[in-house]
Amino acid sequence: MSILITGGAGYIGSHTCVELLKANYDIVVYDNYSNSQPESLARVKELAGKDFPIYEGDIRDTKRLAEVFNVEKIDAVIHFAGLKAVGESCVKPLEYYDNNIGGTVKLLQIMRNAGCKRIVFSSSATVYGSENEVPFNENMKVGGTTNPYGTTKLYIETILKDLYSSDNTWSISILRYFNPIGAHESGRIGENPNGIPNNLMPFIAQVAVGKRPVLSVFGNDYETKDGTGVRDYIHVVDLADGHVKAVTRLLTKTGLDIYNLGTGIGYSVLDIVKTFEKVNNIEIPIQIAPRRAGDIAVCYADAQKAKVELGWTAQRNLDDMCRDTWNWQKNNPDGY
């Protein structure tokens, strides 16, 4: 079985490629390298000890993408390609709507024309908005996103639901990721943000390696055990394994299913800092800063549905996430 991976050179995509190859799937990667480098895929090949075709291209380039479906036999698509910086999406909403929503619509049209109707989509816990109570489960009402990035995920979920209503021969798996962190245990692939990291763990890693002097903790007056924000951090290799399970299920059934991929455990910002310090024996200087606009206090998953239906649960704990992040960062201080 052959899987097309859009955005396969990126952080989650590259880890998923390794796990798919390990599970004996054939893969084809399509990426425009707008937020990644070809080197990540060279390392995927090295880690898996296998070769696979790579196409440099944009999902909005219908001619190029259609060519891939003509040349390769594609049984299903895992669709990671998209822009993901929350702050940037507020400055450039049209670019986000065009790339994420426009790109996905084009991909779906080409898939339909090629008769390939199986897709796994990268959604986000951000679609739960700020009104639901934790733990978030898949039956809760979605909406109330606080930035254009989140809204693109919400709209794409709606587009996929409408598509399935119009044609129930599609197999669609919407995966709502919580907070992916960590790296492959080899330290060869990992998260490689451009510029100043927006997310907590890459920022901590850059403080640890001496690139940034101090971590700003955004708010210590939330209604949480220590006042700092609480999130459901998930090891990226566990997340990758969730994709293998989701795509395997797609190959045998039609339908539209939504799954949370999280551990079900919430950790605060200070929990993360303390665990990173303990596991890696490195001090992370912090300063308390004002709350960040758009942040919610607490977010964690009810991860039962993925357990029951996909047979998937996260295997790696916070120590593993902190150790593997540092192993990647210290071996690749400047990324790829």
Phi, psi for 176 (deg, rounded to 5)? -100, 105
- Kindly list the residues in this chain that would bind ligand WQD in the complex (CB under 6 A): 84, 86, 124, 126, 150, 179, 198-200, 203, 215-218, 229, 231, 269, 292, 295
Contact 164, 306 (CB under 8 A): no
Q: Which does 33 bind (CB under 5 to 8 A by kind): ligand NAD, ligand WQD, none?
A: ligand NAD
Tell me which residues are annotated as active site: 149
Q: What is the DSSP letter of 310?
A: I
Q: Of the two residues 157 and 257, which places its CB atom closer to ligand NAD in the complex?
A: 157
What's the rounded Cα separation, in Å, for the pair 137 and 134?
A: 8
In the list ligand NAD, ligand WQD, none, the entry touching 262 (Cβ below 5 to 8 angstroms by class) is: none
Neighbours of 206 (CB within 10 A): 17
CB of 11 to ligand NAD, least distance (A): 4
314 to 8, 134, 246, 310, 311: CA distances (angstroms): 21, 18, 14, 12, 10
Smallest distance, ligand WQD to C-beta of residue 222, A: 8
When CB distances to ligand WQD are compared, the closest residue is 229
Q: How far is CA 300 from CA 95, 134, 230, 240, 247, in A?
A: 29, 6, 8, 19, 24
Taking CB within 5 to 8 Å according to partner kind, which of ligand WQD, ligand NAD, none is near residue 86? ligand WQD
| Shortest reach from residue 231's CB to ligand NAD, in Å | 10
d(CA 243, CA 101): 21
Closest CB to ligand WQD among residues 65, 296: 296
Instruction: Report the distance separating Cα 82 and Cα 123, nearest Å.
Output: 10
> What residue 7 binds from ligand NAD, ligand WQD, none (CB within 5 to 8 A, per partner kind)?
ligand NAD
Q: What residues line the site for ligand NAD (CB under 6 A)? A: 6-7, 9-13, 31-36, 58-60, 80-84, 99, 103, 122, 124, 177, 180
